[in-house]
Amino acid sequence: MQQDQKAEDRVKILVVDDDESAVEELLFALCAAGFDAVGAYSAAQGLKSFLRDDRIAVVVSDIRMPGQDGIGFLQKVRRCGDRGAACGLIIMTGSPEVANAIAAIDLRVAKYLPKPFEPDEALAAVAAAVSAYRKAIGTVDTRDLNVSTLRALLDASSSAVISPQMAEDDIDAVGSEARDQQRAETLKLMLYSQKLRSDLLPLDIFGDPAWSILLELALIERSGKRTSVSGLTMTAPTSRTTALRRIQDMVEADLIVRHEDPHDRRRSYVELSSNARGRLNQLLDRISKDQSS
């Protein structure tokens, strides 16, 4: 089992592209693979992120972006001292050109990824770039896979749920429509209490983003809508990187199901698994019953 690194020893991956959905999907794949990744949506924003965070070791950048293009941006990264010289650079583009390929050679780019590319191809390129960076600065290649807290949270949440038979015995017989309405109201109250608590108490100590994300997704589904991975991260009471990790952990725990958009491979939709939906309904019914008794 891999051990957590000290905060100052961890490295980050910076993804830069003016296409927000492309950034979010690549961040999702990177976080799912155990990398610590952040996004930026322009060359200027990317350079600020690189200068502000000295743990960024690999930059994955699109070439064609408004304002400054990716080549000019990466040239500036290379000029940022020893870290810029050692940083792993990966270019992604939907329009490969000879001039850009030559510029990539001059920049010592680790990988040139023509769009569209498979996530596994990008992950392999990033892993190789991280390894090269660590060799350059003399550190050990390990990743931050700190998900034990989330696992404990999910286990604790599940332990509070009663069996289907107990639910049928304990809850008064009401119409399905009335029960769904009652569940929706209970869900809204739970979300409200979560948000109110985060305003009054330190989120880094008392926060449980996985639980909040699960409740938000349940409420979205009850409204008859669907949401993408990117959309769900925007509702989370935490950073997008952390939210992406939590979503992936819940996918692996069979609590959330992820579906690729058949019309746009860069986007994925998420929904509660039947397992999570059933357990959550039992929990909402029990809370409603306890409140009315």
Report the pLDDT averaged over residues 197-224: 73
Q: Does residue 267 or residue 265 have the better pLDDT?
A: 267
In the chain, the percentage of residues whose pLDDT exceeds 70 is 74
Report the pLDDT averaged over residues 1-27: 73
Which tokens belong to 211?
């639980």
Identify any residues that bridge with 89 across adjacent strands, giving them in sequence order: 59
Helix axes 20-32, 119-137, angle to 10 degrees: 70
**Does position 187 have pLDDT exceeding 80, yes or no?**
no
The CA distance from 117 to 93, in Å, is 10
Q: What's this model's pTM, rounded to 2 decimal places?
A: 0.53
Work out the pLDDT band at 239, boundaries 50, 70, 90: confident
Least confident of 95-109, 118-132, 212-226: 95-109
- CA distances in angstroms from 238 to 3, 138, 242, 243, listed in the order given: 24, 32, 6, 6
Using an 8 Å Cβ cutoff, are 203 and 195 in contact?
no
Report the pLDDT averaged over residues 234-248: 79
At 82 the pLDDT is 81
CATH number for the domain running over 148-292? 1.10.10.10
The CA distance from 221 to 274, in Å, is 12
At 16 the pLDDT is 95
At 83 the pLDDT is 85
**Superfamily (CATH) of domain 7-137:** Response regulator (3.40.50.2300)
**Does position 208 have pLDDT exceeding 70, yes or no?**
no
Work out the pLDDT band at 57, boundaries 50, 70, 90: very high
The CA distance from 18 to 234, in Å, is 17
Cα separation of the two ends of the chain? 47
- The structural domains of the chain, with segments of one domain joined by +, span 7-137, 148-292
